[in-house]
Amino acid sequence: MAAPPAKRSFHWRSKAFRGVLYQVVAITLIAAAGAYLLSNTLGNMRARGIKSGFDFITQPAGFGIGESVIPFDSAESYGKAFLVGLSNTFRVAILGVVMATLLGTLLGIGRLSRNFLVRSLSSAYVDLIRNVPLLLQLFIWYFLMTERLPSIEEALQPLPGVFFSKNGLQFPHPIWSPGHAGTLIGLCVGLLGCWGWSRFARLRREATGRILPVLLPAMAILFLLTALGWVLGGAPGGLDLPEKTEINVVGGGAVTPEFLTVLLGLTVYTAAYIAEVVRAGILSVPFGQHEASAALGLSRGQALRLVQLPQALRVIIPPMTNQYLNLTKNSSLAVAVGYPDLVSISNTSLNQTGRAIECIALVMACYLTLSLLTSAAMNAYNKRASIKER
């Protein structure tokens, strides 16, 4: 016979009822405290003649932004200024995450190397960088960029069409034309081809034990499909090349010393912590796995790539997520070197409008959104990399 349905009892002796009641009381008290603080703050602001509200978002900003991905004019609104600052923060955070991951992974593996020189240099890097404050490192990088590099008249030229000086980095970039759409499509198809080849090689290895090369064939697939898309798009070849004049370098793409300072500072600093995360993850794999891979005839590189790193990901991903979040939030220190990130735009807007609470709330909302998106993406990847139990 089926069990009788559970009866809900709403009385003080019911544990479930008391639990719900305590939560309702707690939420009510928190809401009341928040309402009191908000009312008190707004009352004090009105008594002192301080305006409040987000109506300033649509007003003209009245200031320019020296570096932006999105074109911006001083006659445009504060809302677009915040959007430009967010795009600058997003740009440096994405590039910093990619570069710090690559550098940190190499350093973490280097700390476990049998080569004494590689192991010592990697350890010295980690110990030095982790014990110097990030703000001080940013000042050092900014000093090198603005004081030790040559002037624009004597700019370094490491490659044809590339100039590096106190004014930043100038480089060639393609002139957009409809034919470049074919190149982008070829690039996307090439990335799918790389993923397909790596999946095929993995399934073949699991089924037969035969190890197929992955890196070189994947690079060949990517190059050939991108080149094919470029040819089918009409082979557009226009380049905007920077040219050096008597007083300046004109044309081409450019990034400022402030952007390079923030990017290098965040990359170098975060890579030291990622290196320790990677090292700890590899060391967490039982030594028997290394012995088993050696017994199968795998080289150290193959054992690391095929046996140790896949198992170490379960340990690496959660603390790696923390480092990505730290890098994104540490980008707010860019204001110290004059890079127009979200915090810098917020400070300028705050000084002009006097809307301190509103500007700070917008900055908090933006960083919260970036952090939640990063956490969601890393949690999804962590779920995919975890061991599936039967």
Q: What is the DSSP string of 225-255?
A: HHHHHHHHTT----EE--EE-SS-EESSEEE
For residues 77 and 83, give the distance between their C-alpha atoms in angstroms, rounded to a whole number: 10
Say yes or no to pLDDT of 9 above 60: no
Token code pair at residue 321? 């997520």
Q: What is the mean pLDDT of the chain?
A: 85
Name the residue with higher pLDDT: 101 or 166. Answer: 101
* Cβ partners under 8 Å of residue 180, min gap 6: 174, 233, 236
Helix (H), strand (E) at residue 173: strand 173-174
pLDDT tens per residue, range 25-56: 999 999 999 899 888 877 877 777 777 778 88
CA torsion through residues 81, 84, 90, 93, sign = negative
Q: In 3-state terms, what secondary structure has residue 176?
A: coil
- 155-178 pLDDT, tens per residue? 888 888 888 888 888 888 777 777
Instruction: Give the model's pLDDT for residue 294.
Output: 80
Report CA Rg, the chain: 27
Helix (H) or strand (E) holding 294, with range, is helix 287-295
Quick one: three-class SS letters along 338-379? Answer: CCCCHHHHHHHHHHHHCCHHHHHHHHHHHHHHHHHHHHHHHH
Separation between Cα atoms, residue 226 and residue 236, nearest integer Å: 13
pLDDT digits (tens, 9 = 90+) for 337-350: 989 989 999 999 88
| Residue from 285, 321, 322 nearest 305 by CA | 285
Question: For residue 255, what are the β-bridge partners?
Answer: 169
Q: What is the mean pLDDT of residues 312-321?
A: 89
Question: Residue 346 burial by CB count (10 A; 0-12/13-18/19+): exposed, middle or buried?
Answer: buried
Please write the tens of the pLDDT for every residue from 106-155: 999 999 888 999 999 999 999 999 999 999 999 999 999 888 888 887 88
Q: What is the pLDDT of residues 244-260, one digit of tens each?
A: 777 777 777 788 899 99
Q: What is the mean pLDDT of residues 284-313?
A: 82
The Cα 219–Cα 215 span in angstroms is 6
Dist CA 166 CA 168 (whole Å): 5
Cα 282-110-137 angle, rounded to 5 deg:
110
SS3 sequence of 35-56: HHHHHHHHHHHHHCCCCCCCHH
Asked if the model's pLDDT at residue 62 lies above 80, the reply is yes
CA–centroid distance for 181 within its chain: 26
pTM for the structure as a whole: 0.83
d(CA 161, CA 216): 29
Task: Indicate the SS3 state at residue 384.
Answer: helix
CA–CA distances in Å: residue 20 to residues 13, 17, 127, 270: 13, 5, 50, 44
Domains in the chain and their CATH numbers? Answer: 78-147+257-385 (1.10.3720.10)
d(CA 212, CA 302): 11
Map residue 321 onto helix, strand or coil. helix
Give the pLDDT score at 3.
54
